[in-house]
Every structure is written in C-alpha cells, then in structure tokens.
Amino acid sequence: MKEVSRVPWPHIPLSADPAAFPACPPIDLADPAVIAAHDQAAFDALERMVDHWDRPGWTAQTRAYYWMLTFPDNQALAGLARRCQQHLAPLGLDPVPDDGLHITLMRIGLAATLPLNHLDQVINTAEPLLPEAFRLRAVPLAGSRGAVRLTVAPWAPVLALHAALSKSGTRSGLTPGKPTALFRPHLSLAYNNRPRPAAPVIEAVTTLRDLPAMDLHVGEVQLVELRRKDRAYRWDVIKSLPLG
C-alpha cells in the first residue's frame, strides 16, 4: 500500500450556501469529532426530507461523467453500511448496494455532449495536479435532506482533491461546476425516496451513532460514466488515477 502523505493540506476556505448541506461549513475542517457533530446537528434540525430521485433532467437513459471515490473491495465499509441499512429498513429508504458506496466529487459533463477525445484531455490534464494519497475517517451517522449518510473527515484532503480536479476541468475547457468553496464531502448509505417528516429518520439514525468510526485509505480517484438503475447509482469506471 502506498504511503499516505503527512504533509499539511492547504487551507481552502468554504462558503455558506443555502443549497448545500450543511448550509454553513464546520469551524474546523481537520477534526473528525467537530465535523461529525456539525453534520449531526444540521441533520437533527431538519423538519422534512425530500425525494432524492426527484431530479429534473435525469432519465433512465441519462449517462454522465463524474469524478468519484469508490470502495468496491472494502468489505469492512460494506459491512458497516449493511448494519446501518438493516436497522433503517422499516423506514423504506433505498439502500446503497455494497459495490455502490462512493463519495461524489464533481460532475464533468453529459456523455452525450462530451466526446471521448475531450475526456482523454481531462484525464491527462488531471494526472499531474492530483494531491497525495490520504486517509479518511467515516463516522456514523447523519444525513441530509435526501439521504442518510456517513460523515467523512478530515475535509481538507478531499477539498484539495476537489480543487485539483476543478482546476483540471477549467484547463480542459469544461464549463465550471460547483466551486470547491461549496463542496461538502459525505458518503451516502441510503436515499430517501419520498417527501416525509424528518423526525422518524432522525430518531432511527441517532441510535446508530455509537457504532465505531472506520478508517478509509484513499489512494485513487475514479472517472466514471454514471447512470441510475432501480433507484440506485451504477457506473462504469473509465479511468482510475493514482493519487500523488
């Protein structure tokens, strides 16, 4: 396994945004306990949840390219996800499959409008900009308006990766997407599939917060072609790039 960098990560200031969740960033982007408490407090303050799948423009035929962190061979993470999902099953959420656990970084563009040679340019531009490998801690359990999810921390290395990929997209002539200042890293375990009061979900989630946190090694970033199938995200990996 590649050695994980211990150099300090650059400070990337985050901005408040009512469309983001949480709307305001935590006061400390390095301390997992602070980040987890902030995520949990934001979720606990929700009154209603929305249908995650109610996203105009997405159809069964839509294909889009994204940068993501995926964990297809992490059996410990899959086991933690299943334990949480089984507890939440009476709520009727849509569980994320074992091989569908991921951290979304950013959208690159629609497959129908982005030629493959342009995608090659994106990949080649990104490679020299990528930061070092790093570790994250996945902390049970919080959520958002449309999902139940693990907190991941620290945020600083994920923000550095997001900023590098954003820079590579700009240099490749892509339309700028969500800026790093508005990015909120997370790892969803189950998606909410209808409008509902948040209180029953919050109550169920709260009982899972004593589960131990889990360390994740992040040594690669994946460029994927994403689709939606049977109320789940599925993808094909176009290219996996090593970090550092």
Domain membership of residue 7 (yes or no) is no
pLDDT band at residue 165 using 50, 70 and 90 as cut-offs:
very high
Domain membership of residue 238 (yes or no) is yes
Q: Is the pLDDT of residue 7 over 70?
A: no
Sign, CA dihedral 21-22-27-31, equals negative
- For 38, the enclosing helix (H) or strand (E) is helix 32-44
Count Cβ atoms within 10 A of the Cβ of residue 196 and give its class: 0-12 exposed, 13-18 middle, 19 or more buried.
Answer: middle
Domain membership of residue 130 (yes or no) is yes
Residue numbers of the domain that contains 39 = 32-51+60-242
Average pLDDT of 17-33? Answer: 95
pLDDT band at residue 1 using 50, 70 and 90 as cut-offs:
very low
Answer yes or no: are the C-beta atoms of 108 and 67 closer than 8 Å.
yes
Length of the chain in residues, anyone? Answer: 244
Main-chain dihedrals φ then ψ at residue 146, nearest 5 degrees: -125, 10
Main-chain dihedrals φ then ψ at residue 50, nearest 5 degrees: -115, 165
Write down the residue that tokens 């994320």 correspond to. Answer: 96
Q: Is the pLDDT of residue 43 over 90?
A: yes
Q: Which CATH number is 214's domain given?
A: 3.90.1140.10
Domain membership of residue 75 (yes or no) is yes
Strands 147-153, 187-191: pairing is antiparallel
Domain membership of residue 214 (yes or no) is yes
Q: Of the given ranges (7-21, 55-69, 113-127), which has the lowest mean pLDDT?
A: 7-21
Q: How many domains does the chain have?
A: 1
Domain membership of residue 14 (yes or no) is no
Q: Is the pLDDT of residue 3 over 80?
A: no
Per-residue confidence (pLDDT) for residue 116, from 0 to 100: 85
The tens digit of pLDDT for each residue in 169-209 reads 999 999 888 899 999 999 999 999 999 999 999 999 999 99
> Rounded to an integer, what distance in angstroms lies between the CA atom of residue 158 and that of residue 135?
10
Q: Is the pLDDT of residue 4 over 90?
A: no
